[in-house]
Structure 1
């Protein structure tokens, strides 16, 4: 079949059609391949696939390769690593000879052992901390300038082979012993074995840098562990709607994306003093909100526990009363069934005529139907009374819960108002300092403007815009957290009360079905009892 060379060179995005074509082209030769192609190959079952030299510009549709262990995407035009999160069985990934600028989106590839990123446009090593199984890493011929970027690889415990050849950082004369010292698990560097004396030389020469790095890693580990503790604690506090508010999390959140706010901290000691005071008071109010949430959570839980204890007792009493009537029914039914059995025996033994038997059976049927009817009315009355009681109790409890949630929100809102007031006071103090500094430029001889503020202080509008931006950012963070608390509290109330009423409706329906089923079984038993057995017909062919 003739192909169009120009069309073959067109940039491509991976799609189902391209995947299927490559899968079929890589089937075994001969009869086996023909049979596999005829039967069809499920993309989800493919374990190895080469998508090389195809001018692919975008990684897409790879999620269908759920069983893939080896994936070759080298010699394409790919600029971004993506669509790999579902390939959890991947062990060997080749993305060499592409146009990738950043290492990313590899977090779920915990089984990856081999990663080839040779000849791309990557400037630093990052986002690889989850690749715990990685043993061979080729990052040669990229744009890595800083030798210290290899520190990131210290987080990979099983790395034994690293290639950094043809990167700008290789111009560093002692790179080999530097890498050997900082990556103690490494056995091969640039495909040459690292000897003990090389590692010893590196450890000696870069002793202080290694110590500094280890101290930095200890601090980072402490932060990670602290974050994990906070996350675990936050998960426990989710039901109180105040997770993280017992820490400085919300304060840090205000400055997380606030470049202007961080810049303004360089205005001098007055601003830093205001900042420290703002921080302390802000965190204290956050903890007050946390305490409010915990207090109301305990109140709610105690009320809920008491509610379910009391309703459980009511339901238990109702159940016991139903059981009593059902036992009385069974006792009366057994007596009636015994009378029917006696009638049938008398008929069979000739003590009574069939006509007399039929009359008595009709009478016993009426007695049984009356017994069923009376029992049904008693049981349904009990269930109706219980349902009405539960509906009234649930409505009362709903009102109580609604008031509890309203009290939680009201007390929390008072504290959030205090947070906004604190932010307003801080904003005014920083504005005052900034305006004084701007007014003093060119007038006060000994006024020193920090270099980082040169652009900001070049124009008053810059100052005003910067102040407004940081003020708005802080208020948005505070308002958002307040909205989250209120939304989740009200959402919890809506879901809880909805489930409360729906579960009672379900219980009532199930109970009625259960009662009717019980009585239907009794009817069937009685009908079977009074139905005479069919005469056995003898086939004369066997006589």
Structure 2
């Protein structure tokens, strides 16, 4: 079924193959010469053909972040991989390869046209994220089960499907089954699906379709509920208060507390524990939880406002620079028309000198705009860091107060438990215990030191749990603030500035090269 190149060594997608392909498929004539001289940035390439190159493994395409169309057909590829960074891909051709499993496409959420024709695929799967899929070609593979067709019902925008040449296409009711189960199709196996065929197909499979729709609605409802729950959980995580809504922290204190489980069996402890301590402890945790969510929302508003200010400043600066460049290009267009009309050497030299001066002035102007933007963004980042630092500090201080209340409750409980344990010890010694005590609990009442050690051990476990949860919360929120500032300033802003300076320099070099390449009747001095 698939193309096999038995006598040719498998190729690797390396720098040389990519460079050659980009140059061959890039701009031609003068534009192509400029592109080759200046070098083509892979991140700017939107279309790439790597067909008929005997490629075995997809690799080294991570630079092609702007790629919209990719052809990898007629190779010997066995596995779909190495495509995660191509998030702008709309059209992908992997036909005539040796692929056995559909995988590695999860990140390609913009994909509209996917061709896997003539491979070794047995099952249609792992395409759930491709919500924009319009065209899907999976013909000439090894798909045997009609259930593969029902999988495609989730792609509401799918209009064109080619699945011919698979074992399922030999089924007696193949076409009518596909049309009935995929009512959104306009074309099946390169033929138009008319309304009459759709109606006839639906009538034949009406009961099965209704049952399927019912199951899909139930599954969709469950998925929505799960998504809502996940969003809530994510919000709790991002607010650093997950597990603080309810008795989770309290219960976790006893999860690894062997002594505590025994102490709960002492007569009177259960009432002390459940009716008093647990209730108050959980109430404080709920206060931390609600406070944490409220302050998280405030931080997100501050963050969004900050990012919006940054974008506004960048867009305003970009528009200002674009206006100056447009003015210069208008001047250049007029100058180019005038230069070929000038026969006087001195006048020609003056015009060229003026062009060079204005080119330099444009460079200075653009660099000045960029420096102004850098200063503006630097001030904005500092202001945000100061404001966010104040917000985080206030949040941490309040949360620490809540956790102190939790520790105070634990200390109070510990003191009461010590008192109750001593009273119980005295009753055990005097054989005055009315209630039955399990043997492993009775072993704690050998003497005063044993029971006090058990109570103290349980107390230490509880305090450690409280301390660890407090430390975790504070560490995570401080880490978030540090990482966000570093990401915004150190990575994004510095990278943007470097790219902008390079862009300005490349523009000026290009403008000067254009003058040098002009075929003037009188050569410049």
TM-score of the superposition, structure 1-length normalised? 0.52
- The separation in 1 between residues aligned to 2:319 and 2:240, in whole angstroms, is 40
Q: 1:437 aligns with which of 406, 410, 424?
A: 424
Aligned residues of 2:414 and 2:455 also touching (Cα < 8 A)? yes
Following superposition of structure 1 onto structure 2, how do residues 94-243 of structure 1 map, counting pairs within 5 Å?
A: 233-243=232-242
Partner of 1:521: 510
Asked if residue 318 in structure 1 is aligned to residue 305 in structure 2, the reply is no
**In structure 1, which of residues 509, 533, 537 is the aligned counterpart of residue 498 of structure 2?**
509
Q: 1:231 deviation in Å?
A: 7.2
Write the distance in 1 (CA, Å) between the matches of 2:228 and 2:334.
69
Query: 1:246·1:287 contact (CA, 8 Å) conserved in 2?
Result: yes
- After TM superposition, the structure 1 = structure 2 runs for residues 480-491 of structure 1, keeping only pairs within 5 Å, are 480-491=468-479
RMSD between superposed Cα atoms in Å: 2.6
1:466 aligns with: 454
Deviation at 1:341, TM superposition (A): 2.2
| Superposition deviation, residue 412 in structure 1 | 0.6
- Evaluate the alpha carbon distance shift between residue 286 and residue 333 of structure 1 in structure 2; reply closer, same or farther with a 3 A threshold: same
Distance in 1 separating the partners of 2:238 and 2:433 = 56
Asked if the contact 1:275/1:426 (under 8 Å) is kept, the reply is no
Q: Which secondary structure state, in structure 2, belongs to the residue aligned with residue 342 of structure 1?
A: coil
Contact 1:340 1:530 in 2 (8 A): no
Cα distance in 2 for partners of 1:389, 1:414 equals 38
**Cα separation, 1, equivalents of 2:514 and 2:327:** 17
Q: Deviations over 1:488-509 (max 9, x none)?
A: 0000010001112122222222
Q: Which has the larger radius of gyration?
A: 1
Contact kept? 1:300, 1:401, Cα under 8 Å: yes
CA distance in 2, matches of 1:229, 1:501: 33
Could you tell me how far apart the structure 1 residues matched to 2:443 and 2:421 are?
13
The 5 A counterparts of 1:212-291 are 233-291=232-290
Contact 1:245 1:286 in 2 (8 A): yes
Q: 1:230 to 1:372 in 2, by over 3 A?
A: closer
Return the offset for 1:516.
Answer: 1.3
Could you say what secondary structure the match of 1:266 adopts?
coil
Is the Cα–Cα contact under 8 Å of residues 339 and 520 in structure 2 kept in the other structure?
no
CA offset at residue 413 of structure 1?
Answer: 0.6
Alpha-carbon separation, structure 2, partners of 1:322 and 1:451: 83
In 1, the alpha carbon distance for the partners of 2:240 and 2:253 equals 19
Q: How far did residue 273 of structure 1 move?
A: 2.9
Q: Distance in 2 between matches of 1:513 and 1:252?
A: 58
Aligned residue in 2 for 1:402: 389
Could you tell me how far 1:466 is from its partner in structure 2?
A: 0.5
CA distance in 2, matches of 1:339, 1:231: 66
Q: Secondary structure at the match of 2:518?
A: helix
Alignment of 1:55-70 (within 5 A): none
Deviation at 1:448, TM superposition (A): 4.2
Q: Tell me whether 1:420 sits opposite 2:407 in the alignment.
A: yes
Equivalent residue for 1:57?
A: none
Question: Could you tell me how far apart the structure 1 residues matched to 2:284 and 2:421 are?
Answer: 27
Structure 2 portions without partners, runs of 5+: 1-78, 80-100, 102-224
Q: Give 1:527 shift.
A: 1.0
Name the counterpart of 2:123: none
Deviation at 1:270, TM superposition (A): 4.5
**Runs ≥4 residues deviating over 6 A:** 226-232, 531-534
Deviation of the 1:393 alpha carbon: 1.3
Deviation at 1:271, TM superposition (A): 4.2
* 1:215-259 residue CA offsets vs partner (Å, 9 max, x unmatched): xxxxxxxxxxx9999877433321111111113211111011101
CA separation in 1, counterparts of 2:260 and 2:317?
Answer: 65
| Shift of residue 326, structure 1, vs aligned partner | 0.6
Q: Describe the SS at the equivalent of 1:454.
A: helix
Q: Distance in 1 between matches of 2:286 and 2:521?
A: 80
Matched residue, 1:497: 485
Give 5+ residue unaligned stretches, structure 1.
Answer: 1-66, 68-88, 90-225, 344-351, 535-543
Instruction: Tell me the residue number matched to 2:107.
Output: none
**Correspondence for 1:478:** 466
296-305 or 334-343, larger mean C-alpha shift = 334-343
